Structure 1
Amino acid sequence: MPYASTQQLMRRACTAGVVIPAFNIPYLPMVEPVVKAIKDTNSVGLVMAARLEWEKFETGSLEALQAEYEKCKLPGHTRLHLDHVPVIDEDDLRVDFMEIIQRAVDAGYESVMVDGSRLSFAENVACTKEAADVAHAAGIPIEAELGAVMGHESGPLPPYEELFASGKGFTDPDEAKQFAGQSGCDWLSVAIGNIHGAISAAAKGKKKVAARLNIEHLDRIHKTTDIPLVLHGGTGIRKEYIMDSMKHGIAKINVATAIRQPYEAAIASGIEAAQQAVYDAMLVVIKEDLEVQDSAKILNPEG
Structure 2
Amino acid sequence: MKEVNEIMNKAWRLGILIPAFNVAYLPMVKTIVDTLKEERTFGLVEVSRPDVEKFGAKSFASVAEEFYKYADLYYTRLHLDHIPVIDEDGNIVDWERLIKESLDLGYHSVMIDGSRLPLEENIACTKKVVEMAHPRNIPVEAELGAVFGHEKGPLPPYEELFNSKKGFTSIESAEIFVRETNVDWLSVAIGNIHGAISGVAKDQKKISAKLDIEHLKKLKEVTQRPLVLHGGSGIRIEYLRLAIENGITKINIGTEIRQAYEKGLKESDNDISFACKRVAYKIRELIDLYGIKNSVEKLYSS
The correspondence of residues 43-82 of structure 1 with structure 2, limited to 5 A, is 43-82=41-80
1:232 partnered with 2:239? no
The correspondence of residues 143-162 of structure 1 with structure 2, limited to 5 A, is 143-162=141-160
1:114 corresponds to: 112
Output one character per residue of 1:144-170: Cα deviation in whole Å (capped at 9) or x when no partner: 000000000011100000000000000
Output one character per residue of 1:259-300: Cα deviation in whole Å (capped at 9) or x when no partner: 110100111320110010001011001112x11101101113
Letter of the 1:154 partner, please give it.
K
Aligned residue pairs total: 299
Output one character per residue of 1:25-78: Cα deviation in whole Å (capped at 9) or x when no partner: 010001111111111111100000011111111111111100011111111100
The correspondence of residues 1-303 of structure 1 with structure 2, limited to 5 A, is 3-268=1-266, 269=268, 270-288=271-289, 290-301=290-301
| Structure of higher RCO (CA pairs closer than 8 Å, 6+ residues apart) | 1
In 1, the alpha carbon distance for the partners of 2:167 and 2:31 equals 35
CA contact (8 A) 1:88 1:116 kept: yes
CA contact (8 A) 1:110 1:141 kept: yes
Letter of the 1:284 partner, please give it.
E
Greater shift after overlay, 265-274 or 190-199?
Answer: 265-274
Equivalent position SS for 2:250: strand
Letter of the 1:54 partner, please give it.
V
CA contact (8 A) 1:77 1:300 kept: no
CA contact (8 A) 2:34 2:71 kept: no
In 2, the alpha carbon distance for the partners of 1:59 and 1:161 equals 33
Letter of the 1:299 partner, please give it.
L
1:184 CA drift (Å):
2.4
1:227 CA drift (Å):
1.3
Equivalent position SS for 2:70: coil
Output one character per residue of 1:203-259: Cα deviation in whole Å (capped at 9) or x when no partner: 111000110000000000000112110000111000011111111111100001111
Identical columns (%):
48
Output one character per residue of 1:162-215: Cα deviation in whole Å (capped at 9) or x when no partner: 000000000011110100010121100000000000000321110001100000
Letter of the 1:225 partner, please give it.
T
For structure 1, which runs of at least 5 residues remain unmatched after alignment?
none
CA contact (8 A) 2:24 2:47 kept: yes
In 2, the alpha carbon distance for the partners of 1:158 and 1:176 equals 25
Letter of the 1:115 partner, please give it.
D
Equivalent position SS for 1:28: coil
In 2, the alpha carbon distance for the partners of 1:52 and 1:99 equals 17
For structure 2, which runs of at least 5 residues remain unmatched after alignment?
none
Output one character per residue of 1:121-157: Cα deviation in whole Å (capped at 9) or x when no partner: 0000000111111011211000000000000001110
Equivalent position SS for 1:18: coil
1:91 CA drift (Å):
0.3
TM-score (norm 2): 0.98
Equivalent position SS for 1:84: strand
Letter of the 1:112 partner, please give it.
V
Equivalent position SS for 2:57: coil
Moved over 4 A (4+): none
Backbone CA RMSD of aligned residues:
0.9
In 1, the alpha carbon distance for the partners of 2:50 and 2:197 equals 9
Equivalent position SS for 1:203: helix
Letter of the 1:253 partner, please give it.
I
1:301 CA drift (Å):
3.8
Letter of the 1:165 partner, please give it.
N
TM-score (norm 1): 0.97
